[in-house]
Amino acid sequence: MCFSAALALPLLPNLEKNSANCTSNCSGKDEDSNKGQSVKLSLPAYKWRLVIAYDGTRFSGWQYQQSTPTVQCVLEEALTKKTKINRKELCLVGASRTDAGVHAWGQVAHFVTPFNYETLDGIHRAVNGLLPSDIRVREFSPAAPEFHARFSVTSKIYCYQVYNSTIMDPFLRHYAYHSEYKLDAAVMRDAAKHFVGKHDFSAFANTSRNDRVPNPVKTILRFDVVEKGPLLRLEVEGSGFLYRQVRNMVALLLQVGRQAVPPDIVVRILESRDRKELAKYTLLLPPHGLSLETVKYNEEHLILPTDSPASSFGRHHSISKCKVLFV
Residues labelled as active-site residues: 99
Kindly give, in sequence order, each residue whose CB lies less than 8 Å from that of residue 214, ignoring residues fewer than 6 positions away: 30, 33, 205, 208, 242, 243
Q: 179: helix, coil or strand?
A: strand
Separation between Cα atoms, residue 141 and residue 146, nearest integer Å: 14
* CB neighbourhood size of 296 (10 A): 17
Q: For residue 4, what are the CA distances in angstroms to 8, 21, 85, 277?
A: 10, 27, 15, 60
Q: 14: helix, coil or strand?
A: coil
The answer to whether 10 touches 44, Cβ cutoff 8 Å, is yes
φ and ψ of 69, to 5 deg: -70, 130
Q: For residue 182, what are the CA distances in angstroms to 165, 200, 279, 285?
A: 7, 31, 22, 17
